[in-house]
Structure 1
Amino acid sequence: MITPEDAKAMALSLEGTEEKPHFHRTAFTVNKKIFATLLAGDANLNLMFDPQTQFIFCPPGSAIIFPVPNKWGLKGATTINLKKANKKLVMKALKEAYNLRKEK
């Protein structure tokens, strides 16, 4: 299990990351682009992947990491259930989302 505070610290450890409010979530940005959002109350971290990266990270039927169940999910937005995830997965996924946004 990863706490929301742990996920926040991991996101902010990535160079140039800024924390900003985003509706009822906390957003993490690089180059003014959101790469992740955190909903602390539900212990969910959303990552802004592309569809190819989402396919790599999300095994079918996973309750740990899965596409957001809406049109954003079809574009690559992915949720990690922090209550079920481990630190290695969360950090790897954060770095991937960060790199995708940093390059653009």
Structure 2
Amino acid sequence: MPRSSVSKLLQDLEQHLGTKLVERSTRALTITPEGEAYRDLALGLLADLDAMDAAAGQARSSPRGRLRVDVGSSLANLVIIYLGEGGLDVGRWSTELHGDPAARR
């Protein structure tokens, strides 16, 4: 972003707030105490937004619900072993495993 655009946005923000955020000289910009307080609050808000995005993204990427598996008894044993070894993240799943009723006879 061009320096002139940043300068204009900063001036607009200062006008909106009714206070100076930086002191300008021909050689430097110095942040005012009001500018420091505003920056600190803005950084806190940005951190909160990042946390909100991360939480929402995690909720979308983590499957949840009920997992019901109907399989024959020999395959059921493999599924039980797989789940027991952590092969599937079941933290948000409730699981039901049903073997083939015909195989139980």
Length-normalised TM-score, structure 2? 0.25
- Judging by fraction of residues, say which structure has more helix: 2
Length-normalised TM-score, structure 1? 0.26
- Judging by fraction of residues, say which structure has more strand: 1
